[in-house]
Amino acid sequence: MKRLNPLTLDQDGCAVLSFDEIRQDEFQEAQEAAFANLKPGENASNVLARGIAWGVYAQDRFTWLDRNTYQLPKELNPEEGGRVRRFPLMDKTFLELEDFQAAMRQCFEAWCFEETSFERAYEVQCSFIRYEPTIAQPAFPSPVMPHQDLIDGAIIVFNKTGDISGGLSRMYTLAGEPFVELDLGVGEALLVKDDRILHQVTTIQLEPSPTWRPGQRAYRDIGIVRFQALGR
C-alpha cells in the first residue's frame, strides 16, 4: 500500500485535513484534561477508554444532548454483537472550545453538503477514544477488521506519545483490496466516505524508548466526527 498525494473524496473516497489549532499548547492541555475522564463503556466487550457526544448543528451552532448510547449492527461490529453500549458523556467544556468547534466546522464544510446549517439541521455524533497499550496488552480498535460505519466520518488525531507503534489507518476497496495506508500525525484528520471504501486502524502497541520507565503512560487520543442531515 502507498500514500496517494493528495487524496480526494471524489477520486479516492477519503482525504486528509490538518488543524494547526489542535497542536497548540492551550488546546492540548484542555484535551488532556477531558480525555483523563474517559472510561470503558458499559455493556461493551472492547475495553478502550471512551467518551461520547451527540448533538445538533444548526444556524452554525452546536447544541449538545445528554444521550450516551451507541450501537452498530452485529454485521458491522461482530465484537459487540449489536449491543447498545453506554459511554461517559464528553466534558462540555471541551466540546465548547472555540478551537474544537472550528475543527468541527471544517469537517462539516469538507463534506460539501447541499444545504448549509442555516437551511437545514444536522445531527452530529462524536466518539472520543484513548488507545493506551501496556507491556502486557496491546490496544485493539473496535472492530479490528476492515469495516464500514453506516455513515461518513472524520477521524481526528488529538494527541499521541512517542512510545507507541501502530495505529495506522488503512483503506480498502469494497472488494477488500488495500490501496492506501496513513500514519496520521497530531492535528490531522482522515475523512472517509463510508459507502465507497472499507477502513481499518491497526493494533497499537507499547514500544518503549530508551528514556521510558515502568509505569509511564503511552497513548493515542482520537475523535470520530459524523454529520447527518435531519428531516426529509
126: exposed, middle or buried (Cβ count in 10 Å: 0-12, 13-18, 19+): buried
180 and 127 in contact (C-beta within 8 Å)?
Answer: no
Cα-based torsion angle of the residue sequence 191, 46, 218, 15 in order, rounded to the nearest 10 degrees? -10
Q: What is the pTM of this model?
A: 0.92
Share in percent of the chain as helix, strand, coil (round to 5): 15, 35, 50
Q: All 3 cell numbers of residue 160?
A: 499521541
Q: All 3 cell numbers of residue 193?
A: 466516505
126 and 52 in contact (C-beta within 8 Å)?
Answer: yes
Q: How far apart are the first and last CA of the chain?
A: 40
- Helix or strand or coil: residue 15? strand
7 and 103 in contact (C-beta within 8 Å)?
Answer: no
pLDDT at 212: 86
Closest CA to 38 of 54, 20, 52, 28: 52
Tens-of-pLDDT digits for all 232 residues of the chain?
A: 444 568 999 999 999 999 999 999 999 999 999 999 999 999 888 889 999 999 999 999 999 999 999 887 887 777 777 888 899 999 999 999 999 999 999 999 999 999 999 999 999 999 999 999 999 999 999 888 999 988 999 999 999 998 999 999 999 999 999 999 999 999 999 999 999 999 999 999 999 988 888 888 899 999 999 999 998 8
Helix or strand run (H / E) with residue 108: helix 98-110
